Structure 1
């Protein structure tokens, strides 16, 4: 969190960011937050999932006064889904302050919204049409608004909201701070910026258009509570020599790494809260093959260069395309092929498509493996080990006992019993993984709505190593 602290953010918000699993600012946060804290207008041209909600949300909450009674901040979004997501993200950022954000959108009972407005939220996150309804009714007044954020301006333009936006901005004070975020900058958006923004700073964050040619990329659509079981099955079936499992937050990394160890896997986790000496020790074990599964956050794995990583598993979808490219680039190195497999919740599919557009690579869907697939993988590994032992020889000491057994029973039954005994069927104590829905994944480009975490006890799956892709 040191880089966030260096931006001049208050301790209450730093505490909230730590709770949310943020480790360090994204580029648009790093560049945008200081500019906004100075009070300047801003044009942010940023692609999907660059973390811009926190980029404007942190300064917005910092600058809003705690006393209720007037709307001090307005965020305009193109859709009600995005309005809900942004409002919840702002409330998470401000969870240790007295600042509250309220989503206002069409399709919800307006009387319910009027009742909520009587609790005097300092920030309104709204779709333009419904905000105009409240302005006409006099239930929302904007004369005291100090900051206006236009989120996904190009989407609002495409949906025909440009005139509403102009009228809303004309109602607010000329002394307001105005922020405009847009993935593209068509002429009407440029005209809007020239008319309503005063000497704005321009920040342009473009996702890197990079593809990893030697990495085979797949995804599985599953719900969050299935992830750990499916990961275990994949490890059993694919038998990676060295693999990295990426989690979104430090808490997730701790839970997954501990759960894997309880199942009998050789795994360790690294994230930003570990001391440098501990991280170095874990990485040394991973490079030397003492540990063959590394569970990591994006920040902890940055700059990681370990040869021989055959598989990358995205336990959680990364927040932006650049992080995805960074993750899968940990395999397929030095001319060797690699496999990257991403777990995707149904609501994240649009974000996955934005990653495909950035990387210019189709990510192929893969069916979820069954328990039978995992058992078959175990059997294949056992046969492989047995054949390797035959090739190595050095088993003369056992031949006499083998010949005695063959006089008592047929060879097929004897070999089948040996395979059954040699196949590892681990029955470990059940482990708990916290269900974690995405926090910063978007539909139109905002932050995905979080929900309360639930404790999930996954089923037991056998530990095994088998065939590889």
Structure 2
């Protein structure tokens, strides 16, 4: 043992230095080994792991026992710099190797320390490390197709796909000889795809030809088909065919439409197909007084008849006027309905109209539950000999009835038929219809006809990607707002746009645009010097500002081609069929895809060729393109560019027209 001199301070400090030097040597040796081990581990980590197992084995593990875990080698080097008496004091207990490095050990204690060092080395290796769990992450959101199918009616998902190119002759689809002759007399030699699918479905089963089916009510039908595909004739023909067998006049077919113009058009179709059948057809639109309509629809208003009283077999109406008669007209009953047709179903279901749908459906069903015993001690002395429908027979007053467990439940015989180019897919709206085993028919193109193509087409319908007529050519012109009227006049005079319908966003816009064009035409015609120059283009407005008689006059002149261009709001964007319309121009771009589909559907009808033009302002271009892209329709629209030099011949007349229009509005 080294003797320490307690008397001489200088010698005592030297002896202390010798003791520290021996401990320091052991500390530096252990530190050198640790650095070498850490350097080797760092080199392995920087290598590219050859497999997933190698990557796990080369992860650096911090010694959980060492309080200096996580300190960099640079920091330790800084602590080690300088002489021992100048360095700041640091913690000595940095690990098991250092905890006992400055103490003289016995052989037994050294063996114990060796075991502890081996245990610490084991914890420092990859095999002994705790498992590293991956960080939590959000699950992938479901696709739009999966979301679209959630909550949808199973019948819609399993809809039948109909090829739009399919046609068939009038024979072999269940039509009677009289109906075939009538259709041939109207120039109809073959049926289109939607008619080929709908008519056999309604007429193929002979048992379904009965007017009352209380024990086996028919299935309901929902049809989605492009505009101009012949949906009106698809339900007119089978309704006339079945109702021809009727003996007593009752209200048996109710057709609900969104506008008066459509009511007039559908009535004309019914009258042409049902000519000579004895069927009585009526309308209710509010165009005439309420008392006048009651006199046309109801046979007896004097007494309260449970079976109702009707002068018509078929009623074509708007929902608002229908509710007026249902709530205020005596003996107006829907209990004998065999057909309830909702044409342009998406628009009618989106608007409440005094909750018309719920009240109409309730009127087709008996108010008390079927099988309920009626009190025979009612104040009326005699039973009323009404012609009740089978499902309403239990409502006879003062007639005792015996009910047993074997009584068959009688259901209303009303069959609901829904038609639209943009059929609603909202599950809540479909449930509100209370459909009975609905059958969905979708007229949608399928390239290969395989199951995958059919599923994709049905998914397009569910996700509201609509089909356009194959003969339609679509164009888009992006322009400045101030140049939009001038570009419209350029299309009319340079591209020869005639027999056209121009759609605006409101009745006011319609009137203003017609005035501007009339001033433009006056300026252009006054500058012509040659008689060979283009003649005057006749343009007229058609909007809700006109009374019904004026609207009818304008529409008749347009059909006779006395008017070249019709400017209107979306009043006639649905259902109106004018055969010679070859161009549709959306002067104000539509804000949603449904409106676009119905606008362009006024042309390219029944296989004829047509052009659709959309004028898109600069600030609207992004929204319009995004809307078309989501509908999968952007690639089919060709973009047309109009240069300044193309407009220059028309610019002086346009400026003159603007000045004239300005004076008109200043005076008003």
Greater C-alpha radius of gyration? 2
Which is bigger in relative contact order (C-alpha 8 A, separation at least 6)?
A: 1
